[in-house]
Structure 1
Amino acid sequence: MAEVMNNTASNVLAQASARILVVEDDRDIASMLIELMREAGYAAEAVGSALDMDRLLRKKEFQLIILDGMLPGEDGFSICRRIRSSDTIPILMLTALSKEIDRVVGLELGADDYVTKPFNSRELLARVKALLRRSSYSMQVKPSLESMTFAGWRIDPVTRELTDSDGVHVSLTTAEFDVLLVFCQNPRRVMTRQDILTRTHAGSAGPVERSIDVHVSRVRQKIEPNYKDPTFIKTVRLGGYIFTPEVEVET
C-alpha cells in the first residue's frame, strides 16, 4: 500500500511540475493556452513557428507539446512526424481541421491525441492531464515487471525498450509501447478498444477509440513480418484485437 501511495504521489508531483510547450501562431489562442496551463499549475511557454520551437527545444526540456496543425512555414503535421522520428515526448495536436481523415493522419504521424478548434478548455485540460499521467506513469521504474519475449522480440517494461531478434532497438512512441505492452501482458485474449484504453492509463479523457486502431496499425508496421497481413495482432470482428504469439517471461 505504501508503495502504491508513493507512486501516486510521485506521479502527481511529476504532472504538477511538467513543462508544456505550446506551438501556435495565433497570439490570442497561444496566450489563452498559456494562461490555461499556468492556472492548472504547469510551466508553459509558447512559440509561433517550427524554427522557434527547435531553438527552444535545444535549450529547455519539456514534458508535452501542444502543436497547432496549421503553422506558417513547416506545418504541424510535418513537425509531428519529425519530432516523432527521434523523440517520444507526448504530442497533442490542435487544429481547425475537423475531418476524420485529418485526425487519423495526425495520429498516424505519431500524435498521442487530437483536439479540434474551437475546443472546450476543460476537455483540452483533461486530455493534457491524461497524457501527462500516462507519460509519468510510463517513466516510473517498476522492478516487479519482468521483460518478455515473443516471436524473437524482447520488450522490457522497466527500460521501455523493444528489441528485435538481432538486439536492434526499435523506437516506439509512449502510446505505441503501452499498447504493445498490454498485448504482451494479455496474450491470446480478446482485448476490446476500451480494455486497451483503460490499461494504457488514458482514462476517459484519453484519445477516442479510433486512435487505438491507429496506434495498433503503427505497432503492426514495426513488428509484423507483413503488416498488411498481420499475424501477431489480429482483428476480432465486433470484438477488438487478439495478440497471438506465445509470450514468455524472462526469469
Structure 2
Amino acid sequence: MHPPQVLVVDDDLEIRKLLARYLKGQGLRVQLASRCADARECISNYQVDLIILDVMLPDGSGLDLCRDLRTMRSKIPVILLTALKEDVDRIIGLEIGAADYLGKPFNPRELAARIRAVLRRDKDNRSIQSDASCYFFEGFRADPFARSVINSEGSEVELTGAEFNLLLTFLDRPGRVLSRDQLFDLVYGRDGDALDRSIDVLISRLRRKLANGESNQMFKTVRNGGYQLVAKVTQSDGQR
C-alpha cells in the first residue's frame, strides 16, 4: 500500500523545497506545483490524497482553486496557507470547504501534524460513513456516506466540508452542549486558538442554510457553555 501523496502548491521555491524534503522525511509522497494551472495538471495526472495550498499564486487565487475543486465535488482535503493576519482568507477558506488552515510563517512540524490529523479524520470519516445510516431532523435527511443533506422538498442543501463535519458532530450528540474547544477538536482534530472564531462562523452558516421556515433555532447558544443541537434526531435504523 502506497503512503499518502501530498500536493504542495506554493510559488515560493524555498518553501516548496523545504516542504518536499521535510514531508518526504515523514514518509509521505510529494508533488510540487507553483501555479494553479500546474496544480490542476497534477490533480488530473496523479492520485492526490491532500493538497497544501497557498492563497496567493501567480496565476490566480488558491481560494478560487479550492472553490473549483468543491464545485467539481472533489473530496480531496485542502489545507490552506495564509498570511498570518489574513482572517478573512481563513474564514472564506472554511466557507468554501478547506479542511484546515495554517498561517505563514509556520513550523513544518506543525504542518506535518495538521496533515496527519486531516488524513486520519478523512480516513475515519470514510470508514464510519460506509456503515452509517441516515439522520433525520427538522424535515432534513443527512446521509453521512454521500455527505449530503436533503430538505423536506427533496432539494440538496449545499454544505462545505467543514460545515458538514460540524453538522455530523452535532447529529452524533443531539442535546449535548459542546464547547467551542470540543467542537474545534472534533471538527479539525486539534486544539483551537482562543481568538479563533471559525466555529462561530460555521454555526452561523449552518443556521442560515438549515433555516426551515421559522424553525431556525435548532442550534442553541449556551452562555459560557458553547452550542447545543436541540432538534430531535432519529436514524434510519430507528435509533435516537
- TM-score, normalised to structure 1, is 0.82
What do residues 194-225 of structure 1 show as CA deviations (whole Å, max 9, x unaligned)? 22234346134899853222332333343223
Counterpart among 191, 199, 216 of residue 178 in structure 2: 191
The 1-side partners of 2:47 and 2:219 are apart by 35
Contact 2:82–2:89, Cα closer than 8 Å, also in 1: no
Task: Trace 1:192-211 onto structure 2 (pairs within 5 A).
Answer: 192-200=179-187, 202-204=189-191, 210-211=197-198
Asked whether 1:82 is paired with 2:107, we answer no
Query: In structure 2, what residue type is equivalent to 1:69?
Result: V
Counterpart among 34, 55, 79 of residue 20 in structure 2: 34
Contact 1:193–1:209, Cα closer than 8 Å, also in 2: no
Deviation at 1:117, TM superposition (A): 1.5
Deviation at 1:100, TM superposition (A): 3.0
Asked whether 1:162 is paired with 2:149, we answer yes
Contact 1:64–1:90, Cα closer than 8 Å, also in 2: yes
Contact 1:135–1:174, Cα closer than 8 Å, also in 2: no
Q: Secondary structure at the match of 1:186?
A: coil
Structure 1 residues 122, 226: CA separation in 2 closer, same or farther (over 3 Å shift)?
farther
Query: In structure 1, what residue type is equivalent to 2:224?
Result: L
Indicate the residue corresponding to 1:70 in structure 2: 56
The 2-side partners of 1:45 and 1:207 are apart by 34
What do residues 95-138 of structure 1 show as CA deviations (whole Å, max 9, x unaligned)? 33424334323323322211111111111111111111111111
Deviation at 1:28, TM superposition (A): 1.1
Q: Secondary structure at the match of 2:118?
A: helix
The 2-side partners of 1:140 and 1:242 are apart by 26
Deviation at 1:141, TM superposition (A): 4.3
Contact 2:96–2:160, Cα closer than 8 Å, also in 1: no
Contact 1:130–1:203, Cα closer than 8 Å, also in 2: yes
Contact 1:127–1:206, Cα closer than 8 Å, also in 2: no
Of 38-47 and 189-198, more deviation after overlay is shown by 189-198
Asked whether 1:115 is paired with 2:106, we answer no
Indicate the residue corresponding to 1:101 in structure 2: 88
Structure 1 residues 163, 129: CA separation in 2 closer, same or farther (over 3 Å shift)?
same
The 1-side partners of 2:60 and 2:97 are apart by 16
The 2-side partners of 1:144 and 1:96 are apart by 40
Q: Percent identity?
A: 37
Q: Secondary structure at the match of 1:140?
A: helix
The 2-side partners of 1:226 and 1:207 are apart by 34
Of 78-87 and 117-126, more deviation after overlay is shown by 78-87
Indicate the residue corresponding to 1:150 in structure 2: 137
Indicate the residue corresponding to 1:219 in structure 2: 206
Query: In structure 2, what residue type is equivalent to 1:190?
Result: V
Q: Secondary structure at the match of 2:56?
A: coil
Q: Secondary structure at the match of 1:177?
A: helix
Structure 1 residues 68, 241: CA separation in 2 closer, same or farther (over 3 Å shift)?
same
Indicate the residue corresponding to 2:38 in structure 1: 52
Structure 1 residues 162, 208: CA separation in 2 closer, same or farther (over 3 Å shift)?
farther
Task: Trace 1:220-239 onto structure 2 (pairs within 5 A).
Answer: 220-225=207-212, 230-239=216-225
Q: Which runs of 5+ in 2 are unaligned?
A: none
Contact 1:149–1:249, Cα closer than 8 Å, also in 2: yes
Of 118-127 and 160-169, more deviation after overlay is shown by 160-169
Indicate the residue corresponding to 1:19 in structure 2: 5
Asked whether 1:245 is paired with 2:222, we answer no
- TM-score, normalised to structure 2, is 0.85
The 2-side partners of 1:173 and 1:100 are apart by 18
Structure 1 residues 18, 206: CA separation in 2 closer, same or farther (over 3 Å shift)?
farther
Contact 2:162–2:187, Cα closer than 8 Å, also in 1: yes
Deviation at 1:187, TM superposition (A): 1.9
Query: In structure 2, what residue type is equivalent to 1:120?
Result: N
